[in-house]
Amino acid sequence: MSAAQAQQKICSEWNPVNKNEYRGIWVYVEYVNGVIKDGSLQLIGKARELAGKISTDVTAVVLGYNLGDAVKEPIYYGADKVIYVDHPALAKYVPHIYANVIVQLANKYKPEIILFAATKRGRELAPYVANSLRTGITADCTELDVDPKTRDLDQVRPTYGGNILAHIRTPTRRPQLASVRPNVFPTPPRDTSRKGEIIEETINSIPSINGQGLIEVKSVVKGEELPPVEKADIVVVAGRGVGSADGVKLLTELAKLLGGTIGGTKKVVDAGWLAADRQVGQTGKTIRPTLYIGVGVSGAIQHVFGMKESKIIVAINSDPNAPIFQYADYGIVGDYRDVVKELIELLKNYKK
């Protein structure tokens, strides 16, 4: 069987749906400790723009327990409606429970698009939901558009190491699911004069925490947190040249000794060595610290975009021709392991 035939076979197992039965754009709005994640607000802004092109409305979906007035917030940022479920089983985030509730809501209301911020939770929930709804998902989009004729979502994301931009569509299935990293789109202004519809949904069959024997959350322990990259005055940035998660660990030690924080390039985030919210650059955070130290960072334009306003730029790279040196105030050519270990020793002795 050829690859094309195999593809055809996989697709035919998922029969096309009647697209006309599906209307509206949903944004899964993530509340953590009573605060909406910026990435969700940014998606409401984008959803508003897309909704205008296909004359539909924007609905925010909020899950949690004791949500109170928080459910109104998405309206202030551009949603037309909020559908919320307030239930003790949703007090703690448990992926299979949250996904199950979103799937039940989607089966009832039939939205044509569901957007998720590509946070830790969003990255986990979106594929869970997509699989349950037997539909496609495009993760980590950097742009979204919609075709007014077919109402197909144009999901744009870099691929092959960022060398090409893929335009991905879900032409025969609904809803269409996509996730977008925080800060790709701007946060819309908060307008408390906006009005919208608030719908409380009661879901009768929320799976119990232990019900499916999958995951039981015993407790939530907050890990040691360094300041976010956009807030720190000193940022040590790990590039692909550090080679592994252990390399990032070494740089984190350096960042702590300097009283700063750790960031990374896209390659480091894509490799899973660092959380996505620590990415610096065009599709990550824009930073302006007093001191930026780039270690094993080549200096690609998409990265430089996010750090070029730093006051003092230091680059450590084994390649004397690495482009990062063009932007650096101070450059050290060498293997980062030698250089960083020595810096750590110096700082430890200095602090004694």
Ligand X SMILES: Cc1cc2nc3c(=O)[nH]c(=O)nc-3n(C[C@H](O)[C@H](O)[C@H](O)COP(=O)(O)OP(=O)(O)OC[C@H]3O[C@@H](n4cnc5c(N)ncnc54)[C@H](O)[C@@H]3O)c2cc1C
Instruction: Record the tokens describing residue 235, joined without a space.
Output: 């940022």
Q: Which long-range contacts (CB under 8 A, 24 or more apart) does 348-352 make?
A: 348/257, 351/257
Least spacing, CB of residue 36 vs ligand X, in Å: 23
Q: Give me the residue label for tokens 């602090």.
A: 351
Cα separation, 146 vs 116, in Å, equals 16
In this structure, the dihedral spanned by the alpha carbons of residues 83, 84, 90 and 96, taken in order and rounded to 10 degrees, is 0
Q: Which stretch binds ligand X (CB under 6 A): 40-48, 80-88, 250-258, 275-283?
A: 275-283
Length of the chain measured in residues: 352
Considering the rule CB under 6 A, would residue 138 count as an interface residue with ligand X? no
Task: Please select the residue that binds ligand X; options are 322, 328, 332, 343, rule is CB under 6 A.
Answer: 322
Task: Please select the residue that binds ligand X; options are 191, 216, 309, 335, rule is CB under 6 A.
Answer: 335
Considering the rule CB under 6 A, would residue 139 count as an interface residue with ligand X? no
Q: Among the residues of 187-324, which ranges form H helices?
A: 245-257, 266-270, 301-304
Least spacing, CB of residue 184 vs ligand X, in Å: 9
- Extract the runs of DSSP E, i.e. beta strands, from 74-186: 81-86, 113-117, 137-141, 143-146, 153-159, 164-168, 176-180
Considering the rule CB under 6 A, would residue 185 count as an interface residue with ligand X? no
Q: Which stretch binds ligand X (CB under 6 A): 106-114, 220-228, 295-303, 343-351?
A: 295-303
Per-residue x/- marks for ligand X, 234-263, CB under 6 A?
A: -----xxx----------------------
Task: Please select the residue that binds ligand X; options are 102, 206, 297, 315, rule is CB under 6 A.
Answer: 297
Instruction: Record the tokens describing residue 311, joined without a space.
Output: 């006051």
Phi, then psi, of 192 in degrees rounded to 5: -75, -5
Per-residue x/- marks for ligand X, 142-161, CB under 6 A?
A: x---------------x---
Site residues (vs ligand X, CB under 6 A): 142, 158, 162, 239-241, 265-268, 279-284, 296-298, 300, 302-303, 306, 316-319, 322, 335-336
